[in-house]
Each structure stands twice: as C-alpha cells, then as structure tokens.
C-alpha cells in the first residue's frame, strides 16, 4: 500500500527536466502526479511501426519514412517557407515548414539522416509533407523504429505530444506492476476478462503493432470499471455516514394536510400526491432526508415543497426555501403566501434589496423563530442569518448550486446534533444511467405528470429564410395581447458575442415591429437589471423579450405563449426542452419555433425532429445522452456532480450492476482495499474530502 501512496503523491514537479511552464500546462489538464499521467489516456494512435520506402509513398498516406537530406532552402518565391528534400534510394520527398527557426535550417545539412512522420500530399515539386514530426537520426539507427503504436494525447495549448509521450513513458517505467496494486480481487478481474491494472495501462499507452481493437477496449473498460467502482464506494460510504446522523421528526397531522389541500385552487395530481407521500415517509424517519424531486417544467414542484414546509412548521421547525434568483424567490414567496397564510403560517422574505430597519427586523423574526417559513436566494445562508430551529431546507433548481454549497448548508443548519432535512427540486431530467449511479448522494422522486388542462406546445422547425413570415406572425400574436420570447444562441462559444448578437436582434426586431414593446436580457447585464426586465415582462409591460440562453429557469409567465429559438441546432436537446418549457404554462395554444440556419445536417435534423415529436422530458434526456454523451449532459460538468476521467456512462453504463456487486464484495471481504481505491480515483475531486 505504501507503494500506491507513493505513486499518487509522486508529483510531476519531481520529474527531471520538467520546467515551471510545462508544469503549468500539465496543471491545466489536471495532471499533477505520476498516477494522473497514467490515467490520461490517448484519444487515438498513429502507426509508426513500419517504414514506407519513399518511392511507394502516395498522397493521402500517413506514413513513417526515413531519408538523407539532399537540400534545404528557403525558395525565393511564394509564401515564405523552408523546403527540404530527402531521399532513400527508392525516391524522394519534400518536407515543407511555414514556421521554422534559423537553427532548424542550419541543422538540415545535406547528408544528415531524418526520420519523419506525417501525411503525404501532392505538392508543388512532387509528393510533400507539411510540418511533419521529424527527428535527426544517425545512419546506423536507420530502421530501428518503434514496436508499439504512437499514442496521441489530449493536449492543451503550448504542450507538445512529444513532451507528454516522454513523461508518460517515464511514468510507466517508474512504476512497475507491484506499485500499481490491483485493489479489485483477481477473481473478479478474471471473471470479467479484465487484465491487471498495470497491463491495461501499458497496453493503452503503448499498444504493440497489430494490436486488436478488442484488447484495447477491454483495457479501457478495465479502467472505467474501477473508476465507477470507486465512485460507487464513495457514495455508499457517504450514505452510511448520513444514516448515522439524526434529524428532527417532521409530521403533518392528517387534518392539517386536508386543510392545506382545501385551500389550494386546484387538485393535486396523482404524481404530486405520490411524491408527497415519499417525502412524508422520509421526514418521519429521524434521519436527514436528502431527496431530489425531479419534474418537468410546469409539473408543479412548488406546491409539493409547500406541503413539506407545512410539515416542518407543524412540527415546530423552521423551513428555509432557497431559489437561485430574487425573481424566483419572490415568485415562491407569493405562491407560499397564497397557500400557507390562510393556515396561519408566518412567512418572511429575505431580499438583498431590503436594507437597514426592514432587514434587521426580518433577521430578528428568523432568529426568534417568529418567521416560520423563510424564502430567499443563497443570501439566506450568510453569516448573519441565524435560525432558531431549522428543520428543512428546500432548494429550487438544483443545478445552479454545486454539491459543496449544498453540503455546506447542511452543516450550517445543524443544531443540537440534528441535521435539517433537504429537499431539492429540479426540472433537469436525469437519465436512467445517472440515476442508477445514485446521482451523487440523493434519493430521487419523480413528478411524471403535468397538471390537467395544459395545451401541449406545438413545435415547428423552419429555416431562417422564413424570418419575414415569422415577424408577421409575431405582430399578429402581440395584437392578440399575448407575449413572445425570442432566444438568441450563437455559433461561437463566447458570451460577449452572444450578447452582441442578442442586442442586434433586439434592435432589428424593434425596427421591424413598430408599436411592439421590445426588451432585452442577457448574461452580461447586472442581476438587478436582468430582474427588472424580467419583472416587467412578467407584469405584461413588455411584449417581446429578446434573450440569450440565460432566461431565468422556472420563471412563470403564462401569457407568453410563443417562443422563437434561433440556431437551435447549436444547443443540446435537454437545453432546448428547458427553454421551450417557458411557454405552454397558461391557457390558450402555445408555440415554439425552432429557426435554424440552413443547410441543416442530417444529425441536427434528427435531433430537432425529436423535439417536434415529443414533449416528454425523460425521453428527450435519454436521447440527448445518447446523441451527445453524458460528459456534456446539462450542467453535470459545472456542478461537479459526476465527473469521470475515463468512464463514459453512455458507453460503460452497462457495467453498473456488476460494479454494485463487486462493491458489496469488496466492503465485505476486503474492506482494507476501499480506502486506497477511493484515494486513487477521487483524491483530486474534492469529493473525497467529504466522504
Ligand atoms: P415547476 O414544477 O416548473 O416549478 P410550478 O410549481 O411553478 O412548476 O407550477 C406551475 C404552475 O402550475 C403554477 O402556476 C402552479 O400553481 C400550477 N399547478 C401546480 N400544481 C397544479 C395542479 N395540480 N393543478 C393545476 N395547476 C397546478
Ligand atoms: Mg419551479
């Protein structure tokens, strides 16, 4: 075990010849230790295991060649370049460099031997290679070439393949098999046909010539399996710890629950009732609830949270309801007031705009427990906010907050050894595979039914050439006293440009639509400005809202029934579905127009077609995962919920059952293997510290 520790703590800084600048660049790739290097797998390979005689080189070949320099010069004509001719007796080849140094030129003396790898193409003088990878060799070294394929690694700017290859070589040499312990018992490895860890890594970094794709895949799966195993184990440990924590008993007497339902202006859907029961069971368990309520936009998550809040209040506890923006917090405050005030509940709204006296009084009411339900943004969890007895924390739109923030809240709410319960609401559907991995530390409830009476959003897909038609349609729509969203997305991944584009669009639309009140929101506006615009849109003082993709999640403007999304082909399905969820929230028909830039690729056509055909967020999330891969799955990267180095759930998700099995076995029969396994895979993720 001491060897394994040495490996992940063996820093690259201690490698000979690795300078400060290289370390910085490695850092950008998340590579700090020898072990990080080993887990940094190639994206593809080049075959440099055989030499192609120059006479047989054809344009289009990727080939390794050798030859003697015949001439090297900077031709006086054309774009400045260094041209060098080599020959090997069977033919000759021109090498051409547009970027080069004087030193480079001076070392290409006639008679010198070179070995080059690159793509051959038709050049001005004959077959040539532009910017080949080359090295000087002695004539006696000719023919002594690599026996393994050459790995091509993911890079960052300023870092060269050669540097990385050399480092990985060094890493492989510095750790013989006994340093990379196989924490997975060998009988499991054998049952799955997996090679030992060291063998798998060697194979992936230096596959022998002629290696089969199957063996490579097997080796990769070997690593992915271990990574998934580590995540699974860390999760079980976290849950284990939570099971030992205590939480207050929260119970809502049946009579009060009935009364609550009676004050609502609608009947709860079956799905809402089911989720309420799931929550009720959690709250009665004396263990902190960690439940995620996931429901499509408009499925009515807020009222479920209100029920849970009432249960806390009925049990003499306070509840904190946190939303990602002031606007949403205010919206919740209004809903909660409407539903809970008739039942005698004291609410408080802690807005950042409230200062001085008002703020002091609110803080006092919270500290003394007079305010039972407290609503606000993350400001709720600042130092000065003290609760008398916090029993439940509700967090809306989970993906805006990171795991760490969320866990910090639990600690803050801890009182007399009791942890508050947590209820998290999100509209982001979690694909089955992610849910199977336990979606971090949460239990999941799903509201899979929309309230009755909603008219489904009609989705159409049109080319941008039909923009004038669309503008006429908007004019009609606004005449009918209804409001419109226009969402701009941009090809370049730059927020600045996206905002600029939205600005231009807003100006153009205002010109094309005289009499229509056009406003703009984008990500570079101050939060207060943004909220002011959203608020006036909500109040009906704006007809057409031009926005970048930052439109606030969860904002409810039932009168806005038409949404135009520009360049939808640039967004993921899940994101488009989220955007579309802003419309179709009120009576009357609603439309979503996806206006693409022609021509549309076959893949994009298929993706947009899915949106036209279904409004089921779960189907869409599954498809999105299938088409994009889970690495890009909405928000997952940012929140750090599930981040893998090697595993890919769309590819390796099938192994999860087996992972569970091996995890159980390990915990039972080899508990001493768990710690080093977690350290190996999670030491850097921050998650490890929480475990
Ligand atoms: P989301 O799940 O997107 O947060 P909300 O909780 O904001 O959805 O609910 C959307 C709208 O539907 C609100 O206006 C809410 O009052 C209403 N609503 C919630 N549940 C029902 C129901 N069972 N029947 C009718 N309307 C409902
Ligand atoms: Mg909501």
| HEC sequence for 172-183 | HHHCCHHHCCCC
CA of 617 from ligand 1 middle (Å) equals 16
Alpha carbon dihedral 631, 634, 635, 641, in 10-degree steps, equals: -50
The pLDDT value recorded for residue 438 is 52
The CATH class that applies to domain 254-447 reads alpha beta
Beta-carbon contacts of residue 327 (< 8 Å; ≥ 6 apart): 531, 534, 535, 538, 552, 555
Residues near ligand 1 (Cβ within 6 A): 266-269, 272, 295, 297-303, 427, 451, 554, 556
User: Across the strands, what pairs with 87?
Assistant: 68, 92
What ranges do the domains of the chain cover?
Answer: 3-45+154-211, 50-145, 254-447, 457-614
Ligand nearest to the CA of 296: 1
- DSSP 8-state assignment for residue 445: E
Residue 319 host element (H or E): strand 318-322
User: Across the strands, what pairs with 545?
Assistant: 485, 519
Question: Nearest 5 degrees, angle CA 647-CA 173-CA 202?
Answer: 35
CA of 300 from ligand 1 middle (Å) equals 3
Per-residue b/e over 626-644, b at no fewer than 16 CB within 10 Å? eebebeebbbbeebebbeb
Closest to 505 measured CA to CA, from 526, 534, 485: 485
CA of 132 from ligand 1 middle (Å) equals 62
CB atoms near residue 31 (< 10 Å) = 24
**Ligand 1 atom nearest 447 alpha carbon:** 2
Ranges of residues in the chain whose predicted pLDDT is under 50: 1-5, 439-440, 492, 629-641, 686-691
Residue nearest to atom 22 of ligand 1 (CA): 451
Residue nearest to atom 5 of ligand 1 (CA): 300
Sign of torsion, CA 428 433 439 440? Answer: negative
Q: Helices in 57-160 by DSSP H: which ranges?
A: 102-107
Give CA–CA dist 552/534, Å, rounded.
8
546: left (phi over 0), alpha (psi -120 to 50) or beta: beta
Beta strands (DSSP E) in 105-201 are 113-122, 127-130, 133-137, 150-152
User: Across the strands, what pairs with 589?
Assistant: none
Residue nearest to atom 15 of ligand 1 (CA): 300
CB 291 within 8 A of CB 308: no
Give CA–CA dist 298/447, Å, rounded.
10
Pocket-testing residue among 274, 300, 329, ligand 1, by greatest number of atoms within 8 A of Cβ: 300
3-state secondary structure of 573: helix
Same CATH topology for 254-447 and 457-614: the answer is: yes
Q: Identify the CATH assignment for 50-145 out of 3.90.79.10, 2.40.30.10, 2.40.50.140, 1.10.3130.10.
A: 2.40.50.140
CA of 270 from ligand 1 middle (Å) equals 13
Residue nearest to atom 16 of ligand 1 (CA): 300
Residue 589 host element (H or E): none
Helix axis angle for 326-340 and 254-263, nearest 10°, is: 110
Per-residue three-class SS string for 367-398: HCCCCCEEEECHHHHCCCCCCCCEEEEEEECH
Cis peptide before 599 (omega within 30 of 0): yes
3-state secondary structure of 544: strand
Pocket-testing residue among 294, 302, 325, 555, ligand 1, by greatest number of atoms within 8 A of Cβ: 302
Residue nearest to atom 13 of ligand 1 (CA): 300
Give CA–CA dist 28/128, Å, rounded.
35
CA of 486 from ligand 2 middle (Å) equals 21
In degrees and rounded to multiples of 5, residue 268 shows phi and psi of: -70, 145
Ligand nearest to the CA of 585: 1
The second-level CATH assignment, the architecture, of 457-614 is 3-Layer(aba) Sandwich (3.40)
In degrees and rounded to multiples of 5, residue 582 shows phi and psi of: -70, -25
């Amino acid at each position: 075990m001491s060897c394994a520790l040495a490996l992940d703590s063996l820093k690259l800084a201690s490698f000979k010849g690795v300078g400060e600048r290289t370390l910085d660049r490695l850092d950008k790739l998340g590579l700090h230790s020898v072990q990080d290097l080993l887990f940094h797998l190639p994206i593809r390979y080049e075959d440099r295991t055989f030499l192609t005689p120059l006479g047989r080189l054809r344009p289009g070949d990727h080939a390794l060649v050798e030859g003697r320099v015949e001439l090297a010069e900077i031709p006086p004509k054309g774009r400045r370049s260094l041209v060098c001719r080599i020959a090997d007796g069977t033919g000759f080849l021109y090498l051409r460099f547009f970027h080069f140094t004087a030193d480079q030129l001076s070392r290409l003396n006639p008679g010198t031997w070179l070995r080059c790898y690159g793509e051959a193409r038709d050049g001005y003088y004959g077959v040539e290679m532009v910017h080949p990878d080359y090295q000087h060799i002695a004539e006696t070294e000719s023919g002594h070439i690599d026996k393994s394929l050459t790995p091509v690694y993911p890079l960052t700017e300023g870092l060269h393949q050669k540097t990385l290859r050399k480092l990985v070589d060094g890493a492989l040499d510095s750790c013989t098999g006994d340093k990379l312990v196989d924490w997975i018992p060998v009988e499991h490895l054998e049952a799955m046909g997996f090679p030992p860890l060291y063998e798998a890594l060697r194979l992936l970094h230096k596959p022998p010539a002629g290696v089969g794709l199957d063996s490579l895949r097997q080796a990769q799966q070997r690593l992915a399996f271990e990574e998934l195993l580590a995540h699974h184990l860390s999760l079980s440990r976290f849950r284990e710890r939570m099971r030992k924590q205590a939480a207050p008993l929260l119970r809502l007497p049946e009579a009060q629950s009935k009364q609550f339902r009676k004050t609502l202006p609608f009947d709860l859907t079956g799905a809402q009732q089911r989720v309420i029961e799931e929550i009720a069971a959690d709250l009665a368990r004396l263990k902190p609830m960690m439940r995620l309520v996931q429901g499509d936009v408009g499925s009515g998550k807020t009222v479920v949270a209100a029920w849970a809040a009432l249960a806390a209040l009925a049990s003499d506890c306070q509840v904190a309801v946190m939303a990602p923006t002031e606007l949403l917090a205010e919206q919740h405050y209004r809903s909660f007031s409407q539903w809970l005030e008739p039942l005698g509940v004291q609410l408080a709204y802690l807005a950042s705009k409230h200062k001085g006296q008002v703020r002091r009084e609110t803080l006092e009411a919270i500290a003394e427990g007079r305010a039972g339900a407290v609503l606000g943004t993350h400001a709720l969890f600042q130092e000065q906010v003290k609760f008398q007895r916090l029993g439940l924390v509700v967090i809306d739109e989970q993906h805006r907050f990171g795991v760490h923030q969320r866990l910090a809240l639990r600690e803050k709410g801890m009182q007399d050894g009791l942890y508050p319960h947590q209820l998290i609401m999100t509209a982001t559907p979690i694909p089955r595979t992610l849910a199977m991995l336990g979606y971090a530390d949460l239990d999941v409830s799903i509201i899979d039914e929309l309230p009755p009476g909603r008219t489904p959003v009609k989705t159409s897909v049109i080319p941008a050439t039909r923009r004038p038609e669309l503008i006429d349609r908007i004019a009609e729509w606004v005449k009918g006293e209804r409001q419109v969203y226009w969402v701009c997305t941009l090809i370049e991944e730059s927020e600045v440009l996206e905002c600029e584009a939205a600005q231009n669009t807003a100006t153009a639309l205002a010109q094309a639509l005289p009499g229509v009140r056009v406003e703009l929101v984008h990500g570079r506006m101050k939060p207060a400005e943004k909220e002011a615009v959203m608020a006036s849109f909500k109040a009906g003082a704006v007809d057409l809202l031009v926005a970048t993709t930052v439109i606030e999640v969860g904002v409810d403007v039932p009168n806005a029934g038409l949404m135009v999304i520009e360049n939808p082909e640039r967004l993921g399905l899940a994101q488009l579905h989220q955007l579309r969820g802003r419309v179709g929230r009120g009576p009357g028909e609603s439309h979503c127009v996806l206006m693409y830039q022609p021509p549309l690729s076959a893949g994009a056509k298929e993706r947009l077609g899915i949106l036209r055909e279904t409004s089921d967020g779960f189907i869409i999330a599954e498809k999105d995962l299938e088409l994009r891969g889970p690495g890009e799955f909405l928000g997952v990267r940012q929140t750090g919920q599930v981040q893998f180095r090697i595993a890919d759930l769309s590819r390796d998700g099938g192994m999860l059952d087996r992972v569970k099995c091996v995890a159980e076995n390990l915990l039972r029969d080899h508990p001493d293997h768990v710690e080093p396994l977690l350290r190996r895979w999670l030491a850097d993720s921050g998650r490890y510290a929480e475990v």
